[in-house]
Amino acid sequence: MPIKKCIAALGVGLIVCSAALSFRSLSAAQHEKGEEAGVSKAVAHLLATSGSSVKGKVTFTKDGSTIHVHAEISGLTPGEHGFHVHEYGVWSEDGMASGGHFNPTGAPHAGPDAKKRHVGDMGNIAANANGNATLDMDDSHLSFHGANSIIGRGVVVHEKADDLKSAPAGNAGARLAVGVVGIAKP
């Protein structure tokens, strides 16, 4: 390859790398500024995956050192269903685009009361005989800023109950609905 082409390729490579680092820095800064900017509430609207009729709304509200989680979900079969924050805020027909459980610390899978657990491990949500479920819980692992920020992540409701121990995701089965966590007006 002639020297001019090598220099041009190197220049383009440097521009691409600089742009990628700038985007990464901007994203990190937005997560770090979550608390500074006064983010106190976030919401995820759950959309059914293919073949499912599950839908709902999950609200996250900062309350001192915890995040209060309030969920109202319908279209479920009666019983318990795994309920988690996943890596990516992306809906897809099978829900798999949301990735695995959000786990920035590399902790083992566990229940919501465990000291060491995936940040996204919120346990199960129980549906009544009509297929409706409501959940209220306070969680000290979730955050709106820093490494544990759930902003832009996915909330997933699963087909089966999370057994709260099996790696990597508690044997909770298919993904029935996915929502993206976004900043909400307080």
**How many other CB atoms are there within 10 angstroms of residue 84's CB atom?**
28
Q: 109 an active-site residue? A: yes
* Strand 79-86, strand 66-74: pairing: unpaired
Among the options 117, 145, 153, 158, which is catalytic? 158
86 C-beta neighbours (distance < 10 Å), count: 26
81 is catalytic: no
45 tagged catalytic: no
Given 31, 81, 117, 121, the catalytic residue:
121
Alpha-carbon distance of 127 to 108, in angstroms, equals: 26
Catalytic residue among 31, 81, 117, 118: 118
Residue 30 burial (10 A CB sphere; 0-12, 13-18, 19+): middle
In the residue annotation, 101 being an active-site residue is answered as yes
Q: Which of 141, 145, 153, 175 is catalytic?
A: 175
Maximal C-alpha separation, the chain = 73
Query: Of 31, 81, 109, 145, which is the active-site residue?
Result: 109
Question: What are the residue numbers of the active site?
Answer: 84, 86, 101, 109, 118, 121, 158, 175
